[in-house]
Amino acid sequence: MNAIKEAWGGLLKPVFVPASVVIIGMIAFSVIYASTAADAFDTLNGIIADGVGWWYILAATGFVLFALYCGLSRVGNIRLGRDDEKPEFGVLSWFAMLFSAGMGIGLVFYGVAEPLSHYVTPPEAGGIPGSTDAAARQAMELTLFHWGLHAWAIYVVVGLGMAYMTYRKGRPLTVRWLLEPLLGRKRIEGGIGHTIDAVAIVGTLFGVATSLGFGVQQISAGLEYLGWVETSNWFVVLLIAIITGIATFSVVTGVSKGLKWLSNINMAMAGALALFVLILGPTLFLMQSWVQNLGGYVQALPELALRTSPFADDGWAAGWTIFYWGWWMSWAPFVGMFIARISRGRTIREFVFGVLLAPTIVGSLWFTIFGDTGILRQRNDGDLLDAEGAVNNNTSLFQMLDGLPLATITSVIAIAVIVFFFVTSSDSGSLVVDILSTGGELETPKITRVYWAVLEGTAAAVLLLVGGTSSLTALQTMSIATAVPFSVVLVLACVSMLKAFRYDVATTPRYVRVTATPETETGTVPAGKGGESEAKRKRSSGISSTFSGLAPSREGLSTPRGGGTVVLAVHEVSNEQLEVHPETGAVEYSSDNAPVDPLGGEVFDTQEFADSAEGQKDSNPS
């Protein structure tokens, strides 16, 4: 009882209560009207696709432009932390964690199924017949489009905003503060802010529930494909209960280190599975395909970015592109918070291009290995479709692995990967939702994490059961429906962040190192004894300052005798080369982190060296 009181006291009730009511209400509605729920999901899916599909497509492309602007403009120089702050993680560790953020149940579920589906049944708007060479190329372009820059640009908006507002501006780690530059603190701490966080919770929970539903479908299908079980509704419920129980156990016992080890092992198994297919599959074909897929994606991106297919009536856009954009928006607080927490100390430019490119490259490799292997298998053997000539999303991965050696072992590994992703997604998703429901508290009560984990599992089970044969549509519909209000929040967040970034760029000083270089032709170097050493001393004297704080007179910078002038050599200084006094705030230049010459400053006694830029620098040190 005390634990419940303590947990209730730490919750932000204007966020927790409305979000819980909406989530439980949607689950209850699905159960009460289970007999007509499948038709209702189909109808709602059509309404959303026809009504706001264009908005999703326009917004997602706008997020890509927003991310590129932040990365390429002067905004990219802003550091996500103090001006002198160093990145918390090294580049390799940071990229590794971004890779892990890019991996998930969805990649395993759709690795073979999506490219194969686009190959067999391409979109009507593309005008390309199915099961042709052109369809194979388009299939990979569409798949990388759905899992590439657009997906990660959505995460950039939330992750960048959270990292900026928390690590540079000192706000709590919640979604609402992304809109503070636009709406002001009073509104953000009031009803509007509560609504924003509640919307983020609802979207995140159903986004995670969608992934859990996909995972359970594939786990049960894999076990049935191996002949180990016979799936039924009760088996699906039991499977969700077991895996949710494992996630709940990790929450209650606080085995965070164990969960991290589990996540690392899972990443290793997923990588080993991909490497296995690459090596024992058509290796040369896959490497050729990867290069072509990247080129095709870059070439097709401008046309695909704004394709709304107004003349097509095949429902392809609703089932794929619009669903994906809604799903990614639902996941944005989850993934965004993760990448924000690992990116402290990075510049916005590093953040943007790291988050956009690293997972996109990993995704392109994954889909090439599994997707092109599946397409090639279908072209050669024609045995990856069901009796009706359609792709079975749940079993296509296991069917593809069945054509390679050690099929049973690799199928078991694939199932284990999905289970581990299920556990880590449920546990991490519960933590993120709990942080939002407590107003940004990083240490949240275990009992509320258990509450969210159980609610996620319940939502996934209900959507699968009431959806029946249309369970996939039910999962997709819930994702894109809950993302509708959050898409508006994301667009407003872009406007809000740009407003804050413009002020930051205008007021943040640029640090330089200024070196005095006397002009010998005007007699600035004293003649006579010791003249050479004095010149060398003056040339090597340097100071660190901002433009606004540059002193008018310093040793080595005073006006030369005879009324000559002083030439100042200005060198850009990165934040890693700054030392800020913790008490006075004085900024000093430190050579400890100065750029290291990879050539070691070697000197050669040759004319070529003397005539080179390096030779000139060596003879005239500054």
d(CA 84, CA 587): 9
Residue 491, C-beta contacts closer than 8 angstroms, at least 6 positions apart: 59, 62
Q: How large is the angle between the packed helices 113-120 and 373-380, nearest 10 degrees?
A: 50
User: What tens digit of pLDDT does each residue of 521-577 get?
Assistant: 444 344 444 444 444 444 444 444 444 444 554 444 455 554 455 566 677 777 667
Average pLDDT of the segment spanning 124-148: 95
Average pLDDT of the segment spanning 407-430: 88
User: What tens digit of pLDDT does each residue of 31-50 get?
Assistant: 776 666 667 777 777 787 77
**Which comes out higher in pLDDT, residue 429 or 291?**
291
d(CA 244, CA 261): 18
Most confident of the following: 99-103, 405-409, 557-561, 583-587: 405-409
d(CA 445, CA 435): 10
User: What tens digit of pLDDT does each residue of 96-107 get?
Assistant: 777 776 667 888
Q: pLDDT value at position 472?
A: 66
Closest CA relative to residue 183, chosen from 167, 165, 200, 170: 165
Q: pLDDT value at position 525?
A: 41
- Tokens 């929450």 locate to 251
Band of pLDDT at residue 622, cut at 50, 70 and 90 = very low
User: What tens digit of pLDDT does each residue of 319-370 get?
Assistant: 899 989 999 998 899 889 889 988 999 999 999 999 999 899 999 999 999 9
SS (H, E, C) 275-306: HHHHHHCCHHHHHHHHHHHHHHHHHHHHHHHC
CB 400 within 8 A of CB 112: yes
Q: Using CB atoms within 10 A of its CB, is residue 118 exposed (0-12), middle (13-18) or buried (19+)?
A: buried
DSSP state of 382: -
d(CA 95, CA 103): 13
- Which pTM value belongs to this model? 0.84
User: What tens digit of pLDDT does each residue of 372-386 get?
Assistant: 999 999 999 888 988
* pLDDT-wise least confident of 141-145, 404-408, 524-528: 524-528
* Residue 177, CB-side half-sphere exposure with 13 Å CA sphere: 20
d(CA 426, CA 454): 9
Kindly state the helix (H) or strand (E) to which residue 422 belongs, with its residue range. helix 407-437
Q: pLDDT value at position 234?
A: 84
Closest CA relative to residue 50, chosen from 320, 308, 307: 308
Tokens of 90: 């090294």
Average pLDDT of the segment spanning 1-5: 43
Q: What average pLDDT is seen over the chain?
A: 82
Residue 220, C-beta contacts closer than 8 angstroms, at least 6 positions apart: 229, 231, 235, 236, 239, 394
- Would the CA dihedral through 85, 87, 88, 90 be positive or negative? negative
Tokens of 589: 């230049």
Show contacts of 85-91: CB within 8 Å, 24+ apart: 85/167, 85/344, 85/345, 85/575, 86/345, 86/575, 86/576, 87/343, 87/344, 87/345, 87/346, 87/350, 88/342, 88/343, 88/344, 88/345, 89/342
